[in-house]
Amino acid sequence: MPSEKIVVTTDEIERTIPEPNAPPTELKRLPPPIPLWARIALALAVPLLPVLCIVAIILRFAFRTQPPRERNAVTSYLLTLLTASGFLTTVGVVLVLVLVPIPAIVNAGLPDLDERTDFPVLTASTVLTSADVSSKLKSLVIVVSPAVTLWSRQEVAGQSFGAGVLLEANQDGYLFATANHVVAHTAARNGSAPQHVMVTTAAGIWSTADVIATAVPLDLALLWVPRHSGSGAFVQPISKALDGEPIFVIGHPEGLKYTLSTGLVSGLRDPIIQISAAISPGNSGGPVYDSHGALIGIVSAKYDRNQDANAENLGFAAQAEMLRDPARWSFYGTGRKMLETYLKELQNGPVASPQIDSQSKTRESH
């Protein structure tokens, strides 16, 4: 390791050689290498870490030719100030992040629904094709995700998500149905319904939605999003499922949002409908429509192939008819009022009795 070069001036040598026969003299204390005023001036920069870093770089460069005593003293003092400044800056940043709220990162509502005036008229008088369902009914489906609270007390969407379907749009807001297990993991912590979940449409703008009712045994839940503008109205008809009838399912399987699948009602297992349409994680809470656009079910579960690899197309949905029975529901806030308003609109609406293909069966549809 190379040694540091020490420069000794002639004046310093003469001061160290005592005069002959001179009386002993007292040792004089050397002046501090950093004057007091300089220490105070540098200490004032402690709250400003970037400024102190720049000053440290300048002083290190300026003192590179000074004697070791002055150079080492400046280096040591700067390290002390930088350590103190780093600690104060860290504490300040933490306090700001904890105490100062950040701007909301979710929208107050669903603006694309607020601006919409062309909701489809259901039930359709003719049998819908897959293309019809895709163009008319996909816009009635939302993405639903449990709300996750950040350190800033802001709520954002979680990693898991399911689907939901619009039941009613009126001047006050929007009523949606989804599967209870899409939001239940938040509710299970304290035995009550979570205050919020996160919802979004195809536009991708997240908003908070209130969980206003749950029917845990049926795996159903109702969500409410207030309206901020617009006046477009919509009421989703519901109907009983017919064994063997064709169905359409819309959801977000494995993250593939707004996927349409088709199938049949494979069996009626009250209050559950067995369906053959392909479903995967992400379909939960999505709608099961009949061939005229009436809602007959809410996707709930599928048979786990990990238990039996031979299981194919064994999906299940809660019957939409269960919405008609408020006694099965637990309500929160204005939940009962919202559901009763929806049911009243169903009763007041026109009754459509379309024919189902060539079977000439009349369906109950409101």
9-23, 38-52, 287-301, range with the lowest pLDDT: 9-23
Q: What is the pLDDT of residue 224?
A: 96
> Which among 134, 211, 124 is positioned nearest to 175, based on CA atoms?
211
pTM of the model: 0.69
Instruction: Encode pLDDT of 55-69 as tens digits.
Output: 888 888 888 888 887
Pick the closest to residue 78 from 104, 121, 27, 43 (CA basis).
Answer: 43
In the block, tokens 């379309």 appear at 354
Is it the case that residue 294 has pLDDT exceeding 80? yes
pLDDT at 236 over 70: yes
Asked whether residue 242 carries a pLDDT value surpassing 60, the answer given is yes
State both tokens at 47.
């709250």
pLDDT attached to residue 103? 53
Q: How confident is the model at residue 270, as a pLDDT?
A: 86
Position 194 pLDDT exceeds 80 = no
Terminal C-alpha separation, the chain: 92
Measured between alpha carbons, how far is 222 from 194 in angstroms, rounded to an integer? 12
Which comes out higher in pLDDT, residue 47 or 285? 285
Token pair belonging to 90: 């860290």
- The predicted model gives 324-330 an average pLDDT of 93
What's the rounded mean pLDDT across residues 275-302?
94
The tokens for 105 are 């990162």
Task: Quick: pLDDT tens for 76-123.
Answer: 888 888 898 888 888 888 887 777 655 556 777 899 999 998 899 998
Note the pLDDT of residue 8.
Answer: 65
Q: What residues form DSSP beta bridges with 169? A: 174, 234
* Neighbouring residues of 332: CB distance < 8 A, sequence distance ≥ 6: 192, 193, 210, 211, 212, 213, 214
Task: Output b/e per residue, 17-41; b: 16+ Cβ within 10 A.
Answer: eeeeeeeeeeeeeeeebbeeeeeee
How confident is the model over 329-347, as a mean pLDDT?
93
Going by pLDDT thresholds of 50, 70 and 90, the confidence category of residue 358 is very low
Q: In the predicted model, what is the mean pLDDT of residues 150-158? A: 70
Supply the mean pLDDT for the chain: 83
Q: What is the pLDDT of residue 77?
A: 86
Ranges 256-270, 298-312, 321-335: which has the least confidence: 298-312
Predicted confidence at residue 360, as pLDDT, reads 36
pLDDT value at position 361? 38
pLDDT band at 312 (very low <50, low <70, confident <90, very high): low
* Per-residue tokens: 139: 């816009």
List domains and CATH numbers for the chain: 31-99 (no CATH), 111-348 (2.40.10.120)
- Judged by average pLDDT, the poorest of 100-114, 218-232, 271-285, 327-341 is 100-114
- Whole-number pLDDT of residue 303: 73
d(CA 180, CA 92): 42
pLDDT band at 49 (very low <50, low <70, confident <90, very high): confident
- Quote the CA–CA distance of 50 and 86 in Å, as a whole number: 10
Cα angle 135-136-140, degrees, rounded to a multiple of 5: 115
* pLDDT over threshold 60, residue 227: yes
Q: Are 252 and 143 within 8 A, CB to CB? A: yes
